[in-house]
Amino acid sequence: MTNKTTMKKKKFNDSYLFILPYFLVFFTFVVLLILISVILSLTYYDTINFPSFVGFQNYINLFTQDSDFMQYALPTTIKYALIIGPIGYIIAFMMAWLLAQVAPKLRTVLAIILYSPSLTSGVLMTVIWKVMFSGDTRGYLNYFLLNLGIINEPVQWLQDTRMIFGIMIFVGLWSSMSVGFLAMLSGILNVDKDLYEAAYVDGLKNRWQEIFYITIPSMKPQMLFGAVMAVVGTFNAAGLAAALSGSIPPPQLAGWLIVDHMNDYGFGRYEMGYASAMSVVLLSIVMVFYSFSIKLFGEKKIR
């Protein structure tokens, strides 16, 4: 009896040692941060004086006083997410599906090319887009369009407020083949081949039906992982507009996202409480997207 309890105790301690190191960083840099966000969002905090409780004042100001937030940051973020999220996800799935039809060696090469934009951060790669969309005649796109006679004078792609958002969408779609894309690719490759054969015997008519009745249902877990990664990637586009236009903030706040607005208040004006309120709003928006993708691809749990 005593032997049994000591053994039990030993095993018990052991397990906690394995999880402890990760738990410490996880708690400090994920759980705690979210708690702090929520608490600080209810205070006024300038990093020097102790935070003072202001109730929901930050949220009220955010939604009623801050026209930059309501007119630019919020709608731009939602618009950007609604476009990049679903379209980027669909493109990633289509690319994965097409790649799955190609012979292995070639597939590897093409997959690396498609995945390459995700290998480095978008902001670091803006050097490329700056030259491609440069406003003078030396910019590749301007040169190309001038030569074709589509435009008569160079377009100021990166200074035009309407163009910046379009270019952001383009850059976002360019880097939409993320880790989720790799997951979906391996998901498609691992669908049981007998399933296809059986389905065609049962009267599957074409490849569209094949995708919707066999491929997607048999790789739902990977589809969900891909969707989650797509949501995470979508909201990571901080500083893109500023990097593209070369000025902070970009002209007329074009392409100004909640993240940019938050960083501006948090690290530019040291209004940490107000910035925290924005991060809570942002996290709530991410949650909405997340629960939507679970509704789409999550397996219905039977209790």
Of residues 258-287, which lie at the interface with another protein (CB under 8 A)? 259, 262-263, 266-267, 272, 275-276, 279, 282-283, 286-287
Q: Rounded to an integer, what distance in angstroms lies between the CA atom of residue 215 and that of residue 8?
A: 46
Is residue 231 a contact point for another protein (CB under 8 A)? yes
For the segment 209-228, give every residue that binds another protein (CB under 8 A).
Answer: 215, 219-222, 224-225, 228
- Taking the complex as a whole, the smallest distance from the CB of residue 19 to another protein amounts, in Å, to 4
Is residue 19 a contact point for another protein (CB under 8 A)? yes
Number of other CB atoms surrounding residue 272 within 10 Å: 21
Q: Rounded to an integer, what distance in angstroms lies between the CA atom of residue 230 and that of residue 293?
A: 10
- Taking the complex as a whole, the smallest distance from the CB of residue 2 to another protein amounts, in Å, to 20
Is residue 14 a contact point for another protein (CB under 8 A)? yes
Is residue 295 a contact point for another protein (CB under 8 A)? no
What are the tokens at 291? 């629960």
Q: Give me the count of residues in the chain.
A: 303
Is residue 187 a contact point for another protein (CB under 8 A)? yes
Is residue 167 a contact point for another protein (CB under 8 A)? no
27 vs 56 by CB, closer to another protein: 27
Is residue 98 a contact point for another protein (CB under 8 A)? yes
| Region from 53-61, 62-70, 149-157, 197-205 binding another protein, contact rule CB under 8 A | 197-205
Reduce the DSSP state of residue 55 to 3 states and report it.
coil
Helices 104-115, 179-189: crossing angle, 10 deg rounding: 160
> Cα torsion at 234, 235, 238, 244 (round to 10°)?
20
Enumerate the H helices of 175-271 as residue ranges.
179-189, 193-201, 207-209, 216-218, 220-234, 240-245, 258-263
Is residue 76 a contact point for another protein (CB under 8 A)? no
Is residue 7 a contact point for another protein (CB under 8 A)? no
Number of other CB atoms surrounding residue 223 within 10 Å: 24
| Region from 34-42, 59-67, 68-76, 160-168 binding another protein, contact rule CB under 8 A | 34-42
- Taking the complex as a whole, the smallest distance from the CB of residue 162 to another protein amounts, in Å, to 21
Task: Work out whether the CA dihedral 68, 259, 266, 35 comes out positive or negative.
Answer: positive
Is residue 201 a contact point for another protein (CB under 8 A)? yes
Reduce the DSSP state of residue 43 to 3 states and report it.
strand
Is residue 100 a contact point for another protein (CB under 8 A)? yes
For the segment 104-143, give every residue that binds another protein (CB under 8 A).
Answer: 104, 106, 108, 110-117, 119-121, 123-128, 130-132, 137-140, 143
Judge if the upstream peptide bond of residue 217 is cis by omega within 30 degrees of 0. Answer: no
